Amino acid sequence: MAATKLTVLSNGSLRVEGDFELVDAQGQPYGLAGRERISVCRCGLSKNKPFCDGSHKGHFEHNAEAFDLPAPKV
């Protein structure tokens, strides 16, 4: 099985690559037509949610830089 990679893009979407399945809140899969790479909207402006359609351009700012989350509380 290939690894799944999520990339947070600065001022943009979440890119999903590899072996993955995208499902809705009821667990029903989206038909991805064999795609192994998609972009998921994270600005809320896309007219094709949950997929990115580029509507964020000029309306969404976020400098994507990785950081460590604190350990979960036990």
Q: How far is CA 11 from CA 32, 36, 44, in A?
A: 24, 22, 13
Do the domain assignments include residue 23? yes
Q: What is the pLDDT of residue 49?
A: 97
Is residue 10 included in any domain, yes or no? yes
Say if 71 falls within a structural domain. Answer: no
Residue 35 has pLDDT above 90, yes or no: yes
* Domains in the chain, number: 1
Q: Which of 5, 3, 11, 4 is nearest to 41 (CA)?
A: 11
Is 73 inside any structural domain? no
In what side-by-side order are the strands of the sheet with 14-17? Answer: 5-8, 14-17, 37-40
Return the closest-CA partner of residue 37 out of 19, 14, 16. Answer: 16
Structural domain range at position 58 = 1-66
64 vs 2, higher pLDDT: 64
Q: Is 38 part of any domain?
A: yes
Model confidence over 5-27: pLDDT tens digits?
999 999 999 999 999 999 999 99
Say if 41 falls within a structural domain.
yes
Q: Is residue 74 part of a domain?
A: no
Q: What does the pLDDT read at residue 69?
A: 96
The structure's pTM equals 0.85
CA distances from 35 to 14, 18, 22, 53 (A): 15, 9, 11, 16
- pLDDT value at position 2? 63
